[in-house]
Amino acid sequence: MESGLHISLAAERVGSLFGLPITNTVVTSWLVIVFLLLGAIIVGGRLKLLPGKIQNAVEMLFEYLFGHVEQTLGSEKLAKRYFPLIATIFVFILTANMLDFLPIFGTFTLVEGGEHVPLFHAVSTDLNTTLALAIISFVAIELSGIFTLGVLKYGSKFVNVHGGAMGFIVGLLELIGNLARLVSFSFRLFGAIFAGEVLLMVIGSFVPLLLPVPLMAFEMFIGLLQAGIFAILTLAFIKIAIAEPHTSTSSAQVAAH
C-alpha cells in the first residue's frame, strides 16, 4: 500500500544547467530571491518623503532593529557596516520559512528518471542550504575579527603562547568552539524546520481538516524564531570577534544562551 506522504531528507535533482545539477531546493532559493527582489522594487518605488502608516511602521521597525545592532556593537559606524548583513540573513531565512506554507510545495512535480519529483523543496529543510548559510555567517565573523584586530591579534585568541599551558588549552577550546559554529548554525535551523515540516505532513495526513491549522501557526512562529536566532547569533559572534583578546567573551557562553 503506497503512502501519500513524500518526505525527503535531501534535495532532489530536477534538471541541470551547463552540466551542473539543479535541485528543487535551488529552484526554491531562486523563488525566494525573486520574491525579495520584487518586494524591494515595489516597496522602493512607493517610498514617500511624507510616509504613510505602513511606511512609517516599517521605518520604525528598522530603526528599532538598527538601534539594537548599534547598542550591541557599541558603535553607529559598526552598526552601519553590519546591519545590512544581519538584516539580509534574517529576511532571507524568514521569507524562505514562510514560503514553505504555500500550496506549491508537493503540488508541482517534474518527471526525472522516470519518477515524479517535487519542483519545490523547503529551503531550510535542506542541510546543504543551512550549511551554506552557516559558512557565510562563519566567514563574515572571522573576517570581521581579522580586519578589525589584525591577523596576529585575532589569532592570539586561539593560539595563546603567553598564558602558559592553561592559556594554550583555553585558546584551543576557543578554536574548537569557533569551528563548531558551522555545525550548530546549520543543524539548529535544519532540525527545527525539517521536524516541523514532517510533523505537519504526518498530522495533516491523519487529521486533514482542523488540527494542522494551529500547528501551522506554531510552525510559522518557529520559522520566525529560527530566523531571529540565526541573525542574533551572527551579530553576537561578530561582537566577540571584534573585541580585544583580553576582553573577549567566551563564545561558548553566548551559544549556551
pTM, to two decimals: 0.79
Please write the tens of the pLDDT for every residue from 152-182. 888 888 877 666 677 778 778 888 888 888 8
Please write the tens of the pLDDT for every residue from 85-113. 999 999 999 999 888 877 777 677 776 66
pLDDT band (50, 70, 90) for residue 245: confident
SS (H, E, C) the chain: CCCCCCCCCCCCEEEEECCEEEEHHHHHHHHHHHHHHHHHHHHHHCCCCCCCHHHHHHHHHHHHHHHHHHHHHCCHHHHHHHHHHHHHHHHHHHHHHHHCCCCCCCCCEEEECCEEEECCCCHHHCHHHHHHHHHHHHHHHHHHHHHHHCHHHHHCCCCCCCCHHHHHHHHHHHHHHHHHHHHHHHHHHHHHHHHHHHHHHHHHHHCCCCCHHHHHHHHHHHHHHHHHHHHHHHHHHHHHHHCCHHHCCCHHHHHHC
